[in-house]
Amino acid sequence: MSKILLPVACSVLIAAAAIAQTRTVEITDAWARATPGTATNGAAYLTIESPTADRLTGVSTPVAKQAELHRMTLADGIMTMRPLAAIDLPAGQPVTLKPGALHIMLVGLSAPLRAGQTFPLMLRLENGGTREITVAVEKPGAMRPEGHTGAGMHMPTQKHH
């Protein structure tokens, strides 16, 4: 049996690899919070899913001097933010950047982010090249991309911290 099974297993692997190559990294629900008048820093969030294991290694946008990958953690009752060199993207698993967790920090905004605006954001992937997406600005203090509710693609979100 094993002499028959082995070539079959190989052809399945080849077929799977061919499918993976035609699929691209999917980025959904890209949003940012509106910033108060005097704030020069903002945060952006999104959901990213790669068909193959990859890493998000950098971000940039024309609306801020610098964009950084950050993780917010709660330790001993204190929220701290730490810059990350990269965010791991496990194959086929969506990774969600959201308030209180992983986020994109926009440092040195050239102008306040106003609800209803959009801005471009470039994502650099270790294997997947560079992707440009559009980020929608939501209300100050928003916990999720309000503009997309009812689109039918939402997973129920019970917790946001």
Residues that bind Cu ion (CB under 5 A): 70, 81, 105
Core vs surface per residue 101-111: b (16+ CB within 10 A) or e: ebbbbbeebee
- Which residue, 40 or 52, is less far from Cu ion as judged by CB? 40
- Which residue, 141 or 150, is less far from Cu ion as judged by CB? 141
Least gap, CB of 115 to Cu ion (angstroms) = 20
- Which residue, 105 or 137, is less far from Cu ion as judged by CB? 105
Least gap, CB of 160 to Cu ion (angstroms) = 16
Decide: 92 and 53 in contact? Cβ < 8 Å. Answer: no
Least gap, CB of 63 to Cu ion (angstroms) = 16
Closest C-alpha to 45, from 92, 104, 93: 104
Residue nearest to Cu ion (CB): 70
Closest C-alpha to 96, from 30, 2, 23, 10: 30
